[in-house]
Amino acid sequence: ISGIDTYGSISKASLSDVNMIATINPVTKQILLTSVPRDYYIPIAGTSGKDKLTHSAKKGISCTMETIENLLNTYNTGSTIKFNYYVKMNYTSFMKVVDALGGVTINNPYGEFTTRIGFFKIKKGKNTLTAKQALAFVRERHSFADGDRVRVQNQQLMIKAVMKKMTSASSITKLNSIFNAVSASVETNMSSSEIRSLINMEIDDMATWDIQSYHLDGNNARVKQFSLITNTNPNGLYVMQP
């Protein structure tokens, strides 16, 4: 799942600020969400050097996918990891999803804070959010000492909230209309028939999904050499070393 930091057309080139792997088992009804930090300083596929993962979007979604595959396979001792599908969304498509669901409810485990975008107050515990509030929530990092690390966890909370709302009794019969509402603003290599097959499966069995989440971490650093951008800061730029 690639989330790019722009409004409007999904074809508009931008940075990949959200990089999340969804491993789905439709038989056991389990989903594992694994977030990869946007600032990971790693070898970029098709280049001769390292850069931030977020900059891989400059070379397209296929570059981002291959870069993450290479990263995981460097440390993986089992079978080779290869992504079957991708979904690319931006701010506009995310808000369309939340609008189509009639809002979402998240459970904020942190203390009360106010988002820097929109100045929405998020209380501790349950919050029912509109599309604009939901976007502000998943973009917020300045309210937390651990910044982007907490933001990544909040993005996973949001995915769980969206999945819970989609599979609720009130939404399950609307999945086809939800798909139609957002399909033009989401880019994916899944065919319409594959997506509708998943929707029909969910409508048929009304399953409750077990969603687990994990996020990769690293050490803060500053570096000067990048393969996709030109650095003019003599002190280097912030990155995260895996």
Q: Is 137 left (phi over 0), alpha (psi -120 to 50) or beta?
A: alpha
pLDDT of residue 98: 94
Beta bridge pairs of residue 33: 22, 213
85 compared with 163, residue with greater pLDDT: 85
User: What amino acid occupies position 7?
Assistant: Y
pLDDT of residue 48: 94
pLDDT of residue 76: 80
Query: How far apart are the two ends of the chain, measured CA to CA in Å?
Result: 20
Instruction: Please write the tens of the pLDDT for every residue from 204-218.
Output: 888 889 999 999 999
**What are the φ/ψ torsions at residue 96 (nearest 5 degrees)?**
-65, -40
1: its two tokens: 């799942």
116: its two tokens: 């820097």
Long-range Cβ pairs for the range 189-196 (8 Å, 24+): 189/85, 189/86, 190/85, 190/87
* Beta-carbon contacts of residue 149 (< 8 Å; ≥ 6 apart): 37, 215, 217
Model confidence band, residue 115 (pLDDT cutoffs 50, 70, 90): very high
pLDDT of residue 169: 81
pLDDT of residue 4: 93
Model confidence band, residue 125 (pLDDT cutoffs 50, 70, 90): very high
Work out whether the CA dihedral 174, 161, 107, 100 comes out positive or negative. negative
Q: Is 208 left (phi over 0), alpha (psi -120 to 50) or beta?
A: beta
Q: Which helix (H) or strand (E) holds 210?
A: strand 210-215
Nearest to 59 by CA among 43, 72, 40, 71: 43
Residue 167 pLDDT exceeds 90 = no
Mean pLDDT computed over 190-197: 90
Quote the distance between the C-alpha of residue 152 and its chain's center: 8
pLDDT of residue 158: 94
Nearest to 159 by CA among 201, 212, 195: 212
Mean pLDDT computed over 3-21: 92
Residue 183 pLDDT exceeds 90 = no
Using CA atoms, how far apart are residues 58 and 43, in angstroms rounded to an integer? 14
Using CA atoms, how far apart are residues 239 and 100, in angstroms rounded to an integer? 36
Residue 77 pLDDT exceeds 80 = no
Is-contact 155 18, C-beta < 8 A? yes
pLDDT of residue 127: 97
Residues composing the chain: 242
